């Protein structure tokens, strides 16, 4: 614990004292959008020596793990910095910045602060003035003859994370345009794409490249990399499936919608669909007393999906306040076995915060669908009553064990790697058994 607290005003600085490690925490009390926090490890020219020294959600540490990024939730993140290793590196300073990932500017954000805490002291900078920009350089941790210091900056920056990163020397990849090519250029574009793909594939096989790889800022791309690791661990990286996600929209889920937990859960499962689905699309349902199918979605449509599709549970004009799992389960079975039958496996992720009491109906649906190409992965949110879901492994009368369940106290505190490993815990064995019985034909 630190023994004293130093409060900074804009432009001021303070020593961190003789410490080997510092925790730099960035937080805000209110924001209209999720906050992307980043650290640029720069030299004397104010630029990173390579993209490896841009630490953020898509790259949570530099090669030497001098700076490590620890996301907490929508409004809170931390960096753990090894000052001893930083002292012996060529890095001159660490620049901490924050960007709005969504609508609004920092004039709409309240209670932002950055705090550097060591075993000796804590240096705090509270940003009291709103900026009409979408990015904000918060502070700099820099070398000094007396040791490391933290300087309060509080400088606004226009344009979002991409121009902010580029201003610090990061080589950012351009996002693909979603606009279709004009008809007259379609053939030429197709040929160019084929040629470009060949060049890209060839270049990947080379040991060295003349041009540095560009860093990607897309969150789903990062999550897909982590999905791929889990799939490889389970030896199913080549398997394809139809992927669906179901969200409890009962009244007790209201806080999880408002805090963005449901959106973040959506993004993490969308990366599964983008990696594993046969056409990269994910089917979506919301349910409470009633259920509702939504338009299928791909990885390019993730931003603010929940807010734009089903903002929060509503008693009137919504799906009701209760939990009725059987109604949505029946609709899912109908879609994949009657409306769109296929020999391909169907992987279903089902989020609920509990209140599950329709034991007989849920059991019957799972038993009846156990001879179909459907695997149910139930995920419980919080410490609630999950009823029959806790006894899935002992559910008798099924052709195959076609379901798994695990509960999470706090989804945001579970790493992506751990979540994906849990999501694919029993699915590989079901897939093997289903294929052996001819239930899955691909």
Contacts of 65 (CB under 8 A, 6+ apart): 82, 85
Give me the pLDDT at residue 25, please.
Answer: 96
pLDDT over 60 at 291, yes or no = yes
Whether 105 contacts 131, CB under 8 Å: yes
Q: What is the pLDDT of residues 126-163, one digit of tens each?
A: 987 767 888 999 999 999 887 899 999 998 888 788 88
Give me the pLDDT at residue 423, please.
Answer: 96
Give me the pLDDT at residue 438, please.
Answer: 95
Looking at the fold, whether 135 and 258 belong to one and the same domain comes out as no
Looking at the fold, whether 132 and 233 belong to one and the same domain comes out as no
Nearest to 92 by CA among 14, 40, 162: 40
Domain count, the chain: 2
Looking at the fold, whether 344 and 432 belong to one and the same domain comes out as yes
pLDDT over 90 at 60, yes or no = no
Q: Does 71 map to a domain?
A: yes
**Is beta strand 241-248 parallel, antiparallel or unpaired with respect to 346-352?**
parallel
Whether 72 contacts 78, CB under 8 Å: yes
Q: pLDDT band for position 316 (50/70/90)? A: low
Q: What is the mean pLDDT of residues 323-342?
A: 95
Say which CATH number the domain at 152 has.
2.60.60.30
Looking at the fold, whether 133 and 253 belong to one and the same domain comes out as no
Residue with tokens 């992987």: 347
Q: Does 374 map to a domain?
A: yes
Q: pLDDT band for position 59 (50/70/90)? A: confident
Q: What is the mean pLDDT of residues 96-112?
A: 88
CA-based torsion, 180, 184, 190, 195: positive or negative: negative
Query: Measured between alpha carbons, how far is 247 from 262 in angstroms, rounded to an integer?
Result: 8
Give me the pLDDT at residue 201, please.
Answer: 41
Nearest to 351 by CA among 399, 402, 285: 285
Q: What is the pLDDT of residues 423-441, one digit of tens each?
A: 999 999 999 999 999 999 8
Give me the pLDDT at residue 424, please.
Answer: 96
Q: What is the pLDDT of residues 366-383, one digit of tens each?
A: 999 999 999 999 999 876
Q: pLDDT band for position 86 (50/70/90)? A: very high
Structural domain span for residue 416: 221-436
**Domain termination site, one of 144, 167, 190:** 167
pLDDT over 60 at 192, yes or no = no
Length of the chain: 442
Give me the pLDDT at residue 315, please.
Answer: 57
Looking at the fold, whether 230 and 104 belong to one and the same domain comes out as no
Q: Does 176 map to a domain?
A: no
pLDDT over 80 at 120, yes or no = yes
Q: How many CA atoms lie within 13 A of 421 on its CB side?
A: 7
Q: Does 182 map to a domain?
A: no
Q: pLDDT band for position 330 (50/70/90)? A: very high
Looking at the fold, whether 137 and 278 belong to one and the same domain comes out as no
Looking at the fold, whether 296 and 364 belong to one and the same domain comes out as yes
Long-range contacts from 209-212, C-beta under 8 angstroms, 24+ separation: 212/50, 212/51, 212/171
Q: Does 102 map to a domain?
A: yes
Give me the pLDDT at residue 322, please.
Answer: 81
Looking at the fold, whether 156 and 263 belong to one and the same domain comes out as no
Looking at the fold, whether 278 and 405 belong to one and the same domain comes out as yes
Range 240-262 burial, b when 16+ CB lie within 10 A, else e: ebbbbbbbbbbbbbeebbeebbb
Looking at the fold, whether 125 and 264 belong to one and the same domain comes out as no
Q: Nearest 5°: phi and psi at 32?
A: -75, -10
Rounded alpha-carbon distances, angstroms, from residue 78 to 57, 60, 75, 123: 11, 11, 11, 14
Strand order through the sheet with 346-352 = 291-297, 277-287, 241-248, 346-352, 374-381, 403-408
Nearest to 407 by CA among 340, 346, 351: 351
Give me the pLDDT at residue 232, please.
Answer: 93
Nearest to 348 by CA among 238, 273, 438, 435: 273
Give me the pLDDT at residue 3, please.
Answer: 64
Q: Does 189 map to a domain?
A: no
Say which CATH number the domain at 230 has.
3.40.50.410
More confident residue, 72 or 244: 244
Q: pLDDT band for position 174 (50/70/90)? A: low
Q: Nearest 5°: phi and psi at 430?
A: -60, -45
Nearest to 342 by CA among 374, 313, 317, 366: 374
Q: Which stretch of 201-205, 312-316, 382-386 has the lowest confidence by average pLDDT?
A: 201-205
Whether 305 contacts 263, CB under 8 Å: yes
Degrees, nearest 5: CA angle 306-311-314: 140
Give me the pLDDT at residue 200, please.
Answer: 34
Mean pLDDT, all residues of the chain: 85
Give me the pLDDT at residue 394, please.
Answer: 83
Q: What is the DSSP string of 10-62?
A: TT-EEE--S-SEEEEEEE-SB-SSEEEEEEEEE-TTSSBSSGGGEEBTTB-B-
Looking at the fold, whether 136 and 271 belong to one and the same domain comes out as no
More confident residue, 315 or 98: 98
pLDDT over 80 at 180, yes or no = no
Rounded alpha-carbon distances, angstroms, from residue 55 to 60, 268, 292: 5, 20, 40
pLDDT over 90 at 206, yes or no = no
Q: Does 174 map to a domain?
A: no
Looking at the fold, whether 264 and 398 belong to one and the same domain comes out as yes
Q: Does 137 map to a domain?
A: yes
Residues facing 81 on adjacent strands = 22, 67
């Amino acid at each position: 614990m630190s023994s004293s607290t130093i409060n900074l005003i804009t432009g001021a600085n303070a020593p961190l004292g003789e410490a080997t490690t510092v925790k730099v925490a960035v937080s805000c009390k209110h924001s209209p959008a999720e906050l992307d926090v980043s650290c640029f490890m720069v030299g004397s020219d104010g630029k990173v020596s390579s993209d490896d020294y841009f630490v953020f959600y898509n790259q949570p540490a530099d090669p030497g793990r001098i700076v490590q990024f620890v996301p907490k939730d929508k409004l809170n993140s931390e960096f753990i910095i090894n000052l001893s290793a930083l002292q012996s590196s060529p890095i001159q300073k660490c620049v901490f910045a924050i960007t709005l990932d969504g609508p609004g500017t920092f004039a709409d954000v309240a209670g932002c602060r950055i705090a550097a805490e060591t075993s000796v002291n804590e240096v705090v900078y509270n940003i009291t003035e709103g900026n009409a920009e979408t990015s904000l350089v918060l502070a700099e941790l820099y070398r000094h003859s007396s040791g490391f210091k933290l300087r309060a900056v509080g400088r606004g920056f226009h344009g979002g994370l991409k121009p902010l990163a580029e201003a610090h020397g990061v080589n950012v990849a351009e996002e693909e345009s979603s606009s279709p090519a004009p008809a007259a250029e379609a053939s030429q574009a197709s040929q160019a794409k084929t040629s470009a793909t060949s060049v890209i594939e060839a270049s990947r096989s080379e040991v060295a490249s003349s041009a540095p790889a560009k860093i990607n800022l897309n969150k789903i791309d990062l999550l897909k990399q982590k999905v791929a690791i889990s799939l490889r661990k389970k030896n199913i990286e080549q398997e394809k499936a139809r992927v669906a996600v179901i969200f409890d929209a009962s009244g007790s889920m209201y806080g999880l919608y408002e805090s963005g937990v449901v959106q973040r859960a959506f993004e993490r499962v969308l990366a599964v669909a983008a990696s594993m689905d046969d056409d990269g699309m994910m089917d979506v349902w919301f349910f409470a007393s009633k259920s509702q199918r939504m338009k299928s979605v791909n990885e390019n449509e993730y931003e603010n999906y929940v807010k734009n599709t089903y903002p929060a549970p509503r008693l009137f004009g919504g799906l009701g306040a209760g939990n009725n799992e059987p109604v949505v389960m029946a609709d899912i079975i109908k879609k994949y076995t009657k409306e769109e039958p296929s020999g391909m496996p169907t992987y279903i992720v089902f989020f609920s915060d509990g209140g599950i009491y329709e034991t007989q109906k849920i059991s019957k649906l799972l038993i009846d669908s156990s001879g179909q190409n459907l695997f149910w992965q139930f995920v419980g949110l919080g410490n609630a009553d999950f009823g029959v879901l806790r006894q899935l492994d002992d559910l008798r009368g099924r052709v195959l064990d076609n379901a798994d369940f695990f509960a999470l106290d706090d989804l945001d505190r579970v790493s992506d790697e751990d979540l994906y490993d849990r999501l694919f815990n029993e699915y590989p064995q079901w897939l093997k058994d289903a294929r052996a019985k001819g239930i899955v034909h691909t």
